[in-house]
Structure 1
Amino acid sequence: MSHHDPRVDAYIAQSAPFAQPILERLRALVHQACPEVEETLKWRMPSFLYAGGIVCTMAAFKRHVAFGFWKHALVMGAGVERDGMGSFGKMTSLRDLPPQRDLLALIRKAAALNAQGVKTPGPRKAAPRPRPEVPADLAAALRGNRAAAATFRAFPPGRQRDYVEWITGARRDETRQRRLAQTVEWLAQGKPRNWKYLQARP
C-alpha cells in the first residue's frame, strides 16, 4: 500500500496555483506506477522512495515545476541532458508533461533500478566553474566595506557563489536587503556563508 506524506499535501497546497495541478498529476502517476512508493521531503522538496532509495523528486518554483529521476542517466538514456534538477525541463502547465504511458514506463524503470540495486554511475569530473557574476547591489555594498571586499575577493569561486546565490535567491526585496547586510557583516569578519555549519563539524 502506498504511503502519502501530509507534508507533501502541504507543499502542494502552498505552491503557486499553476503548479498545483502539475504536482498533483505527477504525484498520482508515481503512485500509479509504483504502488509501494513512499513519500517524504528531502532538501525541502517532495521525494519518492522505493527499495531503499530515491526514485524521483519534484519541486515547484516561482515560474515552473521540475520533475527528475534520481538515476536520470540510467532512466532517460545516454545523451538526454538534465535541465537543472529536472528530467523534462521546466514545466508550466499539464501540457508540458510527457505522455502518460511514457511517463509511467519511465517511473517503473526507475523503481526497477532501485529494486535491482543498480547504483548511479560515479560523477564525471567537471571543469572548474568560473567565479560568479557579482550582482550590482552586492558590488556596491562591498565597495563600502574594505574588509568585506577583501574577504570576498580572497574566497574561492565556490564560496563566492554561496553568497551570490543566497542573495539572488531572495524572493522579496526586503529579504534581499537583509541578506545583503548580513553578507557584508559576515564577510567583514572573514566568514564564509555557511560558517555556522563549518564550526559545528567535529
Structure 2
Amino acid sequence: KADGSWNIYDEIEDLVIPSDLASALGENATAGNYFKGFPDSSKKNILWWIKSARRLETRATRIEKTVGMAAENRMANHPAGRDKGPTRRSG
C-alpha cells in the first residue's frame, strides 16, 4: 500500500528495537540483559504490542511495563504463567 502499511512489520521481523524502548532498556541494565536473552519470537510479540499502540500514552505505558517485567525476567504481553524468561545456566 502507498501508506507503507504493507511494511509495518518489517522492523519487527528484523528485531529492530525502537529508540524509545532501547533508551528505557539502556537505563535499566538488568532489564536490558534479560530482554536480550528472550527468544526472538517473544521479542517480536513484545515489539508488535508496542508498535500497535495507537496513542503515545499507551505506547509509553507498554514500554514501561516491558522494562519493568524484563527486570524480573518476565516477558510483557504474554499470558500469566507463560511470561517467565529463559533461565540462565551456569556452566
TM-score, length basis structure 2: 0.70
Q: Identify the match of residue 146 of structure 1 among 25, 29, 36.
A: 29
**Count, aligned residues:** 72
Q: Using the alignment, how far apart are the partners of 1:187 and 1:141 within structure 2?
A: 11
Runs (4+) off by over 3 Å: none
Q: Using the alignment, how far apart are the partners of 1:197 and 1:176 within structure 2?
A: 24
Q: State the structure with bigger RCO (CA 8 A, min sep 6), 1 or 2.
A: 2
Alignment of 1:105-184 (within 5 A): 131-184=14-67
Give 1:155 deviation, angstroms.
Answer: 1.0
Describe the SS at the equivalent of 2:50.
helix
TM-score, length basis structure 1: 0.33
> Which residue type is aligned with residue 168 of structure 1?
K
| Percent of aligned pairs with the same amino acid | 32
Whose radius of gyration is greater, 1 or 2?
1
Q: Deviations over 1:53-82 (max 9, x none)?
A: xxxxxxxxxx8xxxxxxxxxxxxxxxxxxx
> Which residue type is aligned with residue 161 of structure 1?
K
**Which sections of structure 1, spanning at least 5 residues, go unmatched?**
1-62, 64-82, 84-129
**Which sections of structure 2, spanning at least 5 residues, go unmatched?**
7-12, 84-91
Q: Using the alignment, how far apart are the partners of 1:168 and 1:134 within structure 2?
A: 10
Residue 185 of structure 1 corresponds to 68
> What is the Cα-based RMSD across aligned positions, in Å?
2.0
Q: Using the alignment, how far apart are the partners of 2:54 and 2:81 within structure 1?
A: 24
More strand by share: 1
